[in-house]
Structure 1
């Protein structure tokens, strides 16, 4: 039986006002297949596919072998009136929760147009993105590439917050109130990574595409806020498995340096809370966290050196046994202090000497918060 093909109205609305979507965090319905969504999407998008992965694959093979017309017919056969009903219902329910929602597929063509028409046939009018995911993604990438020029023209000054490992740089950024003049950009949060060999979370990082999308959106919002100072943490280009382009990285790191000075004992406490207490809460069991930590130690084994590596492992094992036996985490201070003093601090001193950046201000967390808000 030949499937009935979708007939399109002439007035199906489209938009390519991508800036508005970013600034308003507009909810989006992504009708691409789950495998496409997993490779890259937008922060405000929900995947409510027109076709599942298997259906999409079959249609794709048909397109290559028999052309577009045959592929369209197969798609309508696979997603027939019975199959499509719950999918349309999921779009309607999303629109009920988000009346301003928009719709897109990969290129803004057949799939999103079909979904748009099916919704219209059910009495629901929705706007689709002109050019779809590809056009929106291009807009975001073009913006990222233009940030150095746009920010320079706008007189925006990057500020780089430096400091030793465990000094509390992320906490400072999170405590800094946003003002008309100053805003913080938390790159570690965008990357879902703490920025060290031990910085991986239990849940995966975003894909490189998703990181770039989120970073671009954050910078668009900053530019539109008319703030003139953007403060970031002193990160490398690579944050875990994601990275920034060299031109963007060089621009963001070109600003004045502010140095956060934190006593060693406080740095140990901050690291203990973040990398032990908070980190363990992410894992199903302490054994799972132990497995992650041992793998992290192994990744830096060469740079630690044989003797120090074994010493740190012994300290870690003793601390873990103390925690398991008595329920206390204080024993972890030993290996944390060893790593900070003997591993991270020498690396930091070397990098600071190598870069020779001029420090505009240095002080405690409270000193810097007061300085930035003057």
Structure 2
């Protein structure tokens, strides 16, 4: 017996249910859900042709064209891909944009192949609406922000707190000029979807008061959801005050050790070192105007010399010579200025362990 079509969106996301996305690749690339897999009914070109036909000749003609384009061996190949997904994910569901024609055709063709596979009622649009509403609901709940200079371990603390929400993790970007990862940043839609699912799971675990990092509106190439950003402007802030040597150790680990390892694991030693070197140089280039040309060139030369030494000997000693001035002359003054405009919202200060303990007790 087949399972009924699904209208319980919350359980789909809480259970990390495998989802077969029938939309065209261009739709999927704009944003999907964390457990979605694209197995399109039509390619981008086929979808465009059918859409044009629909506008000019109506639904019946568009359906006929669709069957003409996806027929014979093409149809057999796609049904085989769907069947493989269904057999590998017997607890899954399929969806198209609105849970309409594409979903019903897919179900019909699968049924002809001997598989009853349920669909999500309302499709992508309904799932997306549910996640946006989840974000807005969290924005209406109490929240506290973690503040502090670069390298104070704010993101690490979020992962140690049961009610911490990592905006940067959802965006796949650390938010600074050196904040990119080896893997590409998520699209705005994918960022919001991942974020909402994380929030949903924290809510289900009992969280009613959330902790975020004191972020700006923009994280790399994406923007914090408006409702969350607005709520953050009035939220109380707990400040982490860690010593310079602790912060430098964290930044060396994040921006140097891990990034070099990730680049080389992804691209191989030779290309990995080249891309790692370019990554650090681009980070410095992006803040050259704030540093001033002379200071920028001096720090860049120090940085690149440190990379050469690291590659030749494995030593990390040279990196403090550019990281420390960068903190003292750029990041710290910038954050001190930004924080001065939020002074009335600071409710607690302490070192990392003290702030974490205070937040965990709230």
Fold agreement, TM-score > 0.5: yes
> Secondary structure of 2:73's match?
helix
Find the aligned partners of 2:148 and 2:250 in 1 and give their Cα distance: 13
**Equivalent residue number for residue 188 of structure 1:** 168
* Over 4 Å off, 4+ runs: none
8 Å contact 1:161–1:231 — kept in the other structure? Answer: yes
Q: Using the alignment, how far apart are the partners of 2:126 and 2:72 within structure 1?
A: 30
The separation in 2 between residues aligned to 1:202 and 1:168, in whole angstroms, is 21
**Counterparts of 2:201 and 2:210, CA distance in 1:** 12
* 1:329 matched residue in structure 2: 316
Which residue in 2 is equivalent to 1:175?
Answer: 160
Correspondence for 1:35 among 26, 36, 57: 26
Measure the CA separation in 2 of the matches of 1:191 and 1:262: 26
Secondary structure at 1:340 match in 2: helix
Kept after mapping to 1: 8 A contact 2:146/2:239: yes
- Mapping of residues 32-111 of structure 1, within 5 Å: 32-111=23-102
2:297 corresponds to which of 286, 297, 310: 310
User: Displacement, 1:369?
Assistant: 3.1
1:339 paired with 2:321, answer no
Deviation of 1:196 after TM superposition, in Å, equals 0.3
- After superposing the two structures, state which structure 1 stretch, 223-232 or 103-112, moved more: 223-232
Contact 2:135 / 2:227 at 8 angstroms: preserved in 1? no
| Match among 119, 122, 142 for residue 133 of structure 2 | 142
- Cα deviation for residue 21 of structure 1 reads 1.5
Deviation, 1:288, is: 1.2
Q: Deviations over 1:16-57 (max 9, x none)?
A: 322222222221100111111001111111111112223223
Give, in angstroms, the shift of residue 13 of structure 1.
Answer: 4.8
In the TM superposition, what is the alpha-carbon distance from 1:290 to its structure 2 partner?
1.9
Residue 149 of structure 2 corresponds to residue 164 of structure 1: yes
- Give the Cα separation in 2 of the matches to 1:148 and 1:279: 33
Which secondary structure state, in structure 1, belongs to the residue aligned with residue 94 of structure 2?
strand
Unpaired runs of at least 5, structure 1: 1-10, 152-156
Gaps of 5+ in 2: none
Separation in 2, partners of 1:82, 1:322: 57
For residue 192 of structure 1, report the CA deviation from its aligned partner: 0.2
| CA distances 1:205-258 after superposition (whole Å, capped 9, x unpaired) | 111111112222222333333323211111111111111233321214533322
Partner deviation per Cα, 1:52-81 (whole Å, 9 max, x = no partner)? 223223322332333222221121122114
Cα RMSD of the aligned pairs, angstroms, is: 2.0
**Which residue pairs with 1:127 in the alignment?**
118
Specify the alignment match of 1:292 in structure 2.
279
Work out which of the residue numbers 338, 345, 359 in structure 1 matches 2:346. 359
Q: Which whole-Å CA distance do the structure 1 matches of 2:95 and 2:125 have between them? A: 10
Contact kept, 8 Å, 1:162 with 1:257, in 2: the verdict is yes
Which secondary structure does the structure 1 equivalent of 2:42 belong to? coil
- Which segment is superposed worse, 111-120 or 250-259? 250-259
Whether the aligned pair in 2 keeps the contact of 1:257 and 1:357 (CA below 8 Å) is no
Q: Say whether the 8 Å CA contact 2:192–2:225 is kept in structure 1.
A: no
What secondary structure is seen at the aligned counterpart in 2 of 1:96?
helix
Q: Does 1:211 align with 2:191?
A: yes
